[in-house]
Structure 1
Amino acid sequence: MATFANESVSKLASVSAHNFSGFSSLWSYYLLPAIIAYPFLCSALRFRKVKSLQAKFKHGLQEMTVKEAHDIIAIISDTEFPALFEKGLQFALFRTYGIPSMSTLLVKTTQLSTEKHVAKRYADTGVLLVDMYGAEPDSDRCIEAYARLNYLHGHYIKQGKISNDDLLYTLSLFLNQPVEWINKYEWRQLTDLEICAMGVFHKAMGDGMNISFEKLPSYSTGWKDGLHFYHELDTWAKEYEKTYMVPHQNNYDTAVQTRQLLISQYPPFMKGILEKVISAPLDDRLREAIMFDKSPESYSSFFDGFMKLRRFYLRYLSLPRPKFMAKQMVTREPDANGKRYYILWDTAPVYVKPTLWNRWGPGAIVSLLLGIARPGDADTFPEGFEVKNTGPSVFVGKGQKEMEASKEKLKIERTGGCPFAVRHS
């Protein structure tokens, strides 16, 4: 019996040693090299898109068209840096609240300064921006978004409540805030080619909104390319802020409602913490202008540390997002009723279709338990949207004649070509 036991133990030890030897060989020859190679693979694959773009534009920056700029921005915003491109646009809107001439109008109209209106008005702004950025520059979808925005702005421009400087400054933020957020926090910085695309695209956006660039140094002689335009408008905007971004109660009243909207999809017990988190990335000039408290140093350190960890993870441990996973915020085509819907949302679920999943899926049940708004709740407009009716309720069903005239003009002007011709208007 003892002999049999010894033989069994010996055989088991032999098998274990053999298995261990096999695992050791597998680890040495395959698993360990794969683990070592994986970060290099991720890094190499992540740079493929930008290298491909650089190779495509060997002809230089001066010949870049709006169509080409749109295609580059689509890569930046949909697959390369979707999260921080969107955050840049969100904080561009946030930054306008630091200018009293702009926040005063928002308070008077109550569109972004009262809890009742802020969610829908924020969603309306997103609807127009999605089509202005996402649709082809000369497409009907893009042109209709410009026409609607011009109608809504035109009402206040005629009354002298929106100045050209207000529009030019807002344009500068949509130009430079995504770039600054990406360059500060993403896994790589934008190239001159990509910044040039931002300049080309936003020069055409300004033209489409009838904004005068007379305040810029090269207005009379023209800009040589989008990079040149970017730096001039960015410099003007930063000087403008030094003079006009000052504390005002209207700034706070507007900013605080948007802050509440940004954290509305989180549990109530987290809101005090998230208010401090939102203040963490704000520079002192903006924070003081909107009269927000400064975040404790621990929050700023945590935020910076988290963003550094995220940068490392994306650069070395995360494979690039494939094209079929490109971020899509809203439906592109209307349904049988002519309505479109948000697909993704990170604030109140305005214009979101209350499907069974959206209304009663696991995430929706959690929201219900936490008292967070779900698609289909009151004041979420689950019937969807039409671009021609976006904006404050007072403008719903209005402006069709003005929009048609604007669309006809835009169809002639928005050819998708290079926007850098001398402009005197």
Structure 2
Amino acid sequence: MRRYDIARHIARLDPERDHVEIVHYLVGWEFPWDWVRALEMALYRTFCNPRTSRLLDHTREFHDRPQRRYDDTALLMAEIMEWGYDSDRGREALRRTNRFHRHYDIANEDFLYVLTTFHLEPIRWMDRYGWRRLTAHEKRASYHFWREVGRRMNIRDIPPTPEAFERWSVAFERTHFAFDEANRRIATSTRELFAGWFPRPLRPLVRVGIHALLDDTMLASFGFRAAPRPVRSLVAGALRMRGWALRFFPPRRRKGFITGTPQRSWPDGYELTDLGPPPLLHAREGAAR
């Protein structure tokens, strides 16, 4: 198989009818590492909405169990992208996601905004740092995929086109993004989670590197100091160089979904029934008894 064979195969698929297959190829074969990083940026972006951050701050999941919260969220989303939202595993991942969210009073527009970030942040990341950009064909498939996921999460008023989806997201940010102490606390907990993946001497550099990836609106919403300009240039340049170099690598021989690799919270593997906030899982077990 040659480097662009999967891209050529995707181009022959229909972006509306075959969107599940297209997203599977994009996430698991073309951009596995990049897609995870892009969804981390999507996670950060949702913290710019004080309503979201205050809820997360109240539950304390990102303070008390940040790695578990990160891993479980990433795995539930990965199950849906790997197997499709109407597969047995995809349906179970969505069922669990919906059940956990029902415990909280979350506005429909906040759900909808999070949905837009799952679509838009990977596009933006690949445009900046990917070994190739997503095609218009692939972007349209991504929209149809997340629209169908949103429908199965009972999210209302999903804009009817990819263009309207993006416009709605940008307008939401203009209206709702603002500094809040809850934003700062949740963003700081998440930054410390990411920094903790590295040896202690490197963590100050990782923190500055994370700031270098956040745009001005995000930095203002968190009250974070911007990284020095040379650091921003270095981080962006390193990621672009990585993307350029990957063009000359052979294509993957095995899919790269995170479901197939040990996670920090689940080094020996997991079952879908393991995933979710422990207080809600334990409450359900107690009710069953």
**Is the pair's TM-score, using the shorter chain for normalization, greater than 0.5?**
yes
Partner residue in 1 for 2:278: 393
CA shift digits 1:79-120 (9 cap, x unpaired): 2111111111111111111110000011111111x1x32111
1:237 equivalent in alignment to 2:169: yes
Native 8 Å contact 1:98 1:289 kept in 2: yes
Partner residue in 1 for 2:92: 144
- C-alpha deviation, 1:49, in angstroms: 2.0
CA distance 1:387–1:295, change in 2 (3 Å): same
Q: What is the rounded CA distance, in whole Å, between the counterparts of 2:183 and 2:204 in structure 1?
A: 20
Q: How does 1:239-258 map to 2 (within 5 A)?
A: 239-258=171-190
Code of the residue aligned with 2:130 in structure 1: it is: E
1:326 equivalent in alignment to 2:255: yes
CA shift digits 1:263-288 (9 cap, x unpaired): 21211111111101001121100111
Q: What is the rounded CA distance, in whole Å, between the counterparts of 1:77 and 1:106 in structure 2?
A: 27
Code of the residue aligned with 2:190 in structure 1: it is: T
CA distance 1:56–1:237, change in 2 (3 Å): closer
Native 8 Å contact 1:328 1:344 kept in 2: no
SS class of match (1:330): helix
SS class of match (1:280): helix
Native 8 Å contact 2:82 2:257 kept in 1: no
TM-score (norm 2): 0.93
Rg comparison, structure with higher value: 1
SS class of match (2:134): coil
Sequence identity, in percent? 28
Q: What is the rounded CA distance, in whole Å, between the counterparts of 1:259 and 1:180 in structure 2?
A: 21
Higher relative contact order (CA 8 A, sep 6+): 2
The root-mean-square deviation of aligned C-alpha atoms, in Å, is: 1.8
Q: Structure 1: any 5+ residue segments left out of the alignment?
A: 1-43, 217-222, 224-228, 332-342, 354-383, 401-425
CA distance 1:139–1:397, change in 2 (3 Å): farther
Partner residue in 2 for 1:189: 133
SS class of match (1:233): helix
- C-alpha deviation, 1:71, in angstroms: 1.0
Code of the residue aligned with 1:147 in structure 2: it is: R
Q: What is the rounded CA distance, in whole Å, between the counterparts of 2:275 and 2:201 in structure 1?
A: 33
Partner residue in 2 for 1:53: 10
Q: How many residues align?
A: 285
Q: What is the rounded CA distance, in whole Å, between the counterparts of 1:55 and 1:288 in structure 2?
A: 43
Native 8 Å contact 1:172 1:237 kept in 2: yes
Q: What is the rounded CA distance, in whole Å, between the counterparts of 1:212 and 1:119 in structure 2?
A: 31
Native 8 Å contact 1:175 1:230 kept in 2: no
Code of the residue aligned with 1:240 in structure 2: it is: F
Q: Structure 2: any 5+ residue segments left out of the alignment?
A: none
Q: What is the rounded CA distance, in whole Å, between the counterparts of 2:76 and 2:168 in structure 1?
A: 25
Question: Which residue, 288, 292, 305 being the options, matches 2:220?
Answer: 288
Q: How does 1:15-164 map to 2 (within 5 A)?
A: 45-57=2-14, 61=15, 64-65=16-17, 68-112=18-62, 114=63, 116-156=64-104, 161-164=105-108
CA distance 1:234–1:397, change in 2 (3 Å): same
TM-score (norm 1): 0.64
Question: Which residue, 155, 164, 169 being the options, matches 2:113?
Answer: 169
Code of the residue aligned with 1:244 in structure 2: it is: H
Q: What is the rounded CA distance, in whole Å, between the counterparts of 2:42 and 2:279 in structure 1?
A: 26
Q: What is the rounded CA distance, in whole Å, between the counterparts of 1:136 and 1:303 in structure 2?
A: 34
Which structure: greater helix fraction?
2
